[in-house]
Amino acid sequence: MLAENMKATTEGVLAGRQARTAILRAIAENTQNTVARWQENREAERSRRGADTNELLSALSAGRAALKGEVSSLRQEAVSALEEMGKARMERVADLRIHLCGDVQTKRKRLREWLFQQGKTRSSGASLLRSELYVSRKNAENTVNDLRRKSKQFLINTRYIRELKNKELNRSLHASMDAMRLSLEGIRFAMVQKRLATKADLAQARNEWQKTAIGGLTGLITATDMPVTAKIPIEKPVVMETVPQATEHLGDKIFAYVAVHPDGVRVREIEEQLSVNRFKLMRALRSLTEEGKVQKEAGLYFAR
């Protein structure tokens, strides 16, 4: 019966271990999937941001090329107008030279008038050309400034969206890591509790076995025909030195709490969480330290 109980206990421990292994494998797969999705989102955001930047650069290059084309066309038109004016002037000067052969005074007077009119026409044409060039330059500058303003706003919006995406991804990743950490701490705490329970069951089974063996040996000696005066040496059961039951239970609780905090825990935190007296707590910690279950470093207690 005892062997069957021990076999059932062992099978239960193995089944629990297999279940915990499956849970840890599922948690690892979930973590890998979360990291993969985060990497895919980051690559997609990087590709989209690169495409937007290339589109903006293409728009800026097209605007700059269009501005250069407009300035070049205006220059060509100005040069053509000046050349035509020069040709017309040369033709008129030739005509004047022919007509000067007649009345010199009249021709001179007409020449002055014509030169005056030409000067006015030339001045008005130059002023009109300057005004057109000025308007064209202002329009081009406004277009370039508008493109710069739009590109700057686009970059600001892109940076803001990227920061929001990064914050959201980091928040979801931290939430997943916190949930995973809590799950691992729960599993670790359950494993510690299971190990302590298994240790207690083994100790109880060992004591029952010793009592059963001693009882069977005593009955066997009584049933024989040996003289009453004969003394048969009976080996006494080994009694293990243990602390009182309340102190042992408190030590198990303290060890379980320290074991689920791999970063260490202070005495004040254990006292507040377990609601125990400071004197009993220090005595139990001293006992656990002497047994080699916990160690103290820089005011923190760690499970070994």
Identity at 107, one-letter amino acid code: K
Read off the DSSP letter of residue 240.
P
Strand ranges, E, within the chain: 294-297, 300-303
pLDDT in tens, the chain (304 residues): 677 778 788 888 888 888 888 899 899 889 989 989 898 888 888 888 888 888 889 888 888 888 888 888 888 888 888 988 888 888 888 877 776 666 677 777 888 888 888 887 877 777 788 888 888 888 888 988 888 888 888 888 887 887 777 777 677 667 767 677 676 777 777 777 777 888 787 877 777 777 776 665 555 444 444 444 444 343 443 333 333 444 557 888 898 898 888 888 999 999 888 888 889 899 999 999 998 889 888 889 998 8
Q: What is the pLDDT of residue 223?
A: 45
Q: Which residues contact 287 (CB under 8 A, 6 or more apart)?
A: 243, 247, 251
Question: What pLDDT score does 194 carry?
Answer: 77
Q: Cα(262)–Cα(260) distance, rounded to whole angstroms? A: 6
Give the bridge partners for 302, in sequence order.
Answer: 295
Q: Are 302 and 264 in contact (CB under 8 A)?
A: yes
Q: How many residues comprise the chain?
A: 304
49 vs 55, 59, 83, 292, CA distance in Å?
Answer: 10, 15, 51, 57
Q: Where are the domains of the chain?
A: 2-201
pLDDT of residue 167: 76
Q: Which letter does DSSP use for residue 256 in this model? A: H
The contacts of residue 63 (CB under 8 Å, 6+ apart) are 143, 144, 147
From the number of C-beta atoms within 10 Å of its C-beta (0-12, 13-18, 19+), residue 258 rates as: buried
Cα separation, 43 vs 27, whole angstroms:
24
Which pLDDT score, from 0 to 100, does residue 227 have? 45
Residue 100: per-residue pLDDT: 65
User: How much is the pTM?
Assistant: 0.26
Residue 67: which of 140, 5, 116 has the closest Cα?
A: 140
Residue 235's H or E segment, with its range, is none
The token duo for 23 is 């849970």
